[in-house]
């Protein structure tokens, strides 16, 4: 019994020899080739977990899977030690018993405790659907696409607007940091020698594509594309550190069916990926902290609170810790609150150090956004070199940064944060620069419609739309609030006569009088330094179709 069956030929031989052997031992034997018994039942009385053990192989048969079993064996030997490192440099060793983490007084650090428990105990207690799933649908941003594969989503105009803005923004910041933007293919040859050994460790997660003449896999990150570019580049030590950037739309991972969830875990996702070549470990540490600040600024300006909304998972090898303890401590100090450190007895992966910033959501689930790694292996594997001061070719180290994490996860975090705000009694909303409608103009009755229309050109550069339905005022306000519109402008007789705007501000729940220019300046201030796009749908609500309901 196996999920990876041999060809029919060997099976027939096997049946024949089994029959012969059994007859020789005096059994009465009937045999039939497979295919004759497509339908039968095997009832096994045993422990429920026995269902997880499906593969039954003779020992010698396992030899054919050397690459895989080597990695599996190595990983099984991996010993992790867990710690909490305080910004002061104090280290607390953690232990776990019955799903409870101890060794550190977590008072005031609830989410760090949840994150540590999530990582160490793998405990999942959520019973509810994640809050962002309902929100992404109700706000007509993103939805499931049953016509595709699980974890491949459809974006409605408002969702595409937000995603596009995030992508533009992240790209701008990474280019400002100095990264050169490139683009690489989404699929790669299974038989490419440089990719083969890398892939052999993770054979089960790829989407497979049959091209006209080869089997290919869809990329799960920008690593290959950038490494293959880098191996052909001619690089001097003077040019280091040297960062390349690509926005992968998409990266594909054929996650197991039950692991796919909303915007949190997808099979196709948009990954900003920035690899930098550095000459040695000292430059790596220095550059890592430069990128730390870039990533910090991006998440903060996307509307997340730094560092409050995140918990650090820092993974280091024992050797790296021994040699660079001061660096890890300085990192914790820069972060400003305690971090979770996982220490590995040996280096089993291609990196010696890695960190992630994890968002802990309302169901106590953690999702990694920003991550950066110090890779000591792949330059050699892919043949990436630079010429050093002595004119000799050397392999650089490679830093793997995703400055924001997957763009979908940024949206996930924003929606979960909004849901948490709603639960706490404050109005849920997106940052103004990401709000699909920034200003909703609401005439009280038809008499004010023409005047209301004349305001649209005066709000140039702002996503302002107009509710031209003949709903009552209360209904129009309600509809705008349901869409999380940050500024609702009500136009009645008074406003036409006075020439000012009556603005209902979502953030503060207040109503204020202000001039058109004052509103413009207010929004310009709130969106400064972020990209802008026009409305994703017609300005008049009566001209908008419904995408979901």
Partner RNA sequence: GCCACCGUAGCUCAGCCGGUUAGAGCGGCAGUUUCGUAAACUGCAGGUCCGGGGUUCGAAUCCCUGCGGUGGCUCCA
- Site residues for RNA per CB under 7 A: 51-52, 118, 122-130, 133, 137, 144, 146, 149-151, 202, 205-206, 220, 253, 255-262, 265, 349-350, 354, 363, 365, 368, 373, 427, 444-447, 469-475, 477-478, 481-482, 488, 490, 492-495, 502, 504, 511, 546, 548-549
Task: Please give the Cα distance from 71 to 77 (Å, whole number).
Answer: 10
Contact between 195 and 188 (Cβ < 8 Å): yes
Residue whose CB is less far from RNA, 108 or 146: 146
Minimal distance in Å, beta carbon 189 to RNA? 16
DSSP 521-535: HHHHHHTTTS-----
Here the tokens at position 47 are 């422990």
Task: Please give the Cα distance from 259 to 253 (Å, whole number).
Answer: 11
Minimal distance in Å, beta carbon 172 to RNA? 26
Task: Please give the Cα distance from 171 to 289 (Å, whole number).
Answer: 19
Minimal distance in Å, beta carbon 34 to RNA? 19
Residue whose CB is less far from RNA, 347 or 363: 363
Minimal distance in Å, beta carbon 261 to RNA? 5
Q: What are phi and psi of 24, to 5 degrees?
A: -60, -30
Q: According to DSSP H, which parts of 393-456 are helical?
A: 407-423, 449-455
Half-sphere exposure of 211 (CA within 13 A, CB side): 12
Task: Please give the Cα distance from 408 to 155 (Å, whole number).
Answer: 11
Task: Please give the Cα distance from 365 to 128 (Å, whole number).
Answer: 11
Minimal distance in Å, beta carbon 344 to RNA? 12
Cis peptide before 343, with omega less than 30 degrees from 0?
A: no
Residue whose CB is less far from RNA, 9 or 549: 549
Residue whose CB is less far from RNA, 232 or 510: 510
Residue whose CB is less far from RNA, 156 or 386: 156
Q: Which position has the token pair 């089993």? A: 348
SS3 65: helix
Burial 413-435 (b: 16+ CB within 10 A, else e): bbbbbbbeeeeeeeebbbbbbbb
Minimal distance in Å, beta carbon 15 to RNA? 26
- What are the beta bridge partners of residue 244? 180, 275
Minimal distance in Å, beta carbon 231 to RNA? 18
Residue whose CB is less far from RNA, 285 or 354: 354
Residue whose CB is less far from RNA, 90 or 494: 494
Residue whose CB is less far from RNA, 237 or 412: 412
């Amino acid at each position: 019994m196996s999920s990876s069956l041999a060809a029919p030929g060997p099976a027939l031989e096997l049946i024949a020899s089994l029959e012969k052997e059994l007859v020789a031992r005096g059994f009465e034997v009937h045999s039939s080739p497979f295919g004759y018994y497509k339908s039968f039942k095997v009832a096994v009385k045993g422990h429920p977990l026995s269902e997880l053990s499906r593969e039954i192989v003779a020992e010698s048969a396992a030899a054919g899977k050397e690459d895989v079993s080597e990695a599996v064996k190595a990983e099984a030997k991996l010993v992790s030690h867990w710690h909490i490192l305080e910004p002061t440099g104090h280290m607390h060793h953690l232990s776990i018993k019955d799903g409870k983490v101890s060794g550190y007084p977590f008072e005031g650090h609830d989410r760090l405790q949840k994150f540590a428990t999530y990582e160490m105990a793998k405990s999942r207690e959520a019973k509810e659907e994640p809050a962002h799933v309902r929100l992404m649908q109700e706000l007509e941003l993103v939805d499931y696409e049953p016509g595709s594969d699980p974890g491949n989503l459809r974006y409605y105009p408002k969702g595409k607007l937000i995603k596009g803005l995030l992508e533009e923004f992240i790209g701008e910041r990474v280019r400002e940091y100095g990264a050169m933007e490139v683009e690489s293919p989404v699929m790669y040859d299974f038989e490419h020698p440089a990719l083969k050994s890398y892939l052999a460790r993770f054979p089960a997660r790829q989407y497979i594509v049959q091209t006209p003449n080869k089997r290919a896999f869809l990329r799960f990150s920008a690593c290959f594309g950038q490494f293959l570019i880098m191996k052909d580049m001619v690089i001097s030590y003077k040019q280091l550190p040297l960062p390349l950037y690509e926005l992968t739309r998409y990266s594909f991972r054929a996650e197991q069916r039950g692991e796919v969830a909303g915007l949190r875990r997808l099979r196709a996702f948009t990954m900003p990926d920035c690899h930098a070549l550095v000459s040695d470990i000292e430059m790596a540490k220095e550059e890592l902290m430069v990128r730390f600040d870039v990533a910090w600024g991006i998440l903060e300006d996307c509307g997340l609170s730094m560092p409050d909304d995140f918990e650090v998972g820092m993974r280091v090898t024992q050797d790296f810790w021994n040699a660079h303890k001061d660096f890890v401590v300085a990192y914790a100090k820069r972060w400003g609150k305690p971090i979770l450190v996982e220490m590995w007895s040996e280096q089993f992966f291609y990196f010696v150090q890695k960190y992630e910033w994890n968002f802990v959501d309302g169901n106590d689930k953690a999702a990694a956004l920003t991550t950066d790694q110090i890779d000591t292996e792949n330059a050699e594997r892919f043949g990436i070199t630079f010429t050093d001061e002595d004119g000799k070719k050397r392999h650089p180290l490679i830093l793997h940064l995703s400055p924001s994490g997957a763009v979908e996860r940024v949206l996930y975090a924003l929606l979960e944060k909004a849901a948490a705000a709603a639960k706490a009694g404050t109005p849920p909303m997106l940052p103004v620069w990401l709000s699909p409608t920034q200003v909703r103009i609401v005439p009280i009755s038809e008499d004010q419609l023409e005047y209301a229309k004349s305001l649209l050109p005066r709000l140039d550069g702002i996503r302002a739309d107009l509710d031209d339905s003949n709903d009552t005022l209360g209904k129009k306000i309600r509809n705008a609030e349901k869409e999380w519109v940050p500024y609702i402008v009500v136009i009645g007789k008074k406003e036409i006569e006075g020439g000012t705007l009556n603005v209902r501000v979502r953030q503060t729940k207040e109503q204020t009088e202000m001039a058109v220019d004052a509103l413009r300046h207010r929004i310009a201030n709130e969106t400064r330094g972020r990209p802008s796009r026009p409305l994703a749908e017609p300005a008049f609500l009566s001209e908008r179709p419904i995408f979901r309901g």
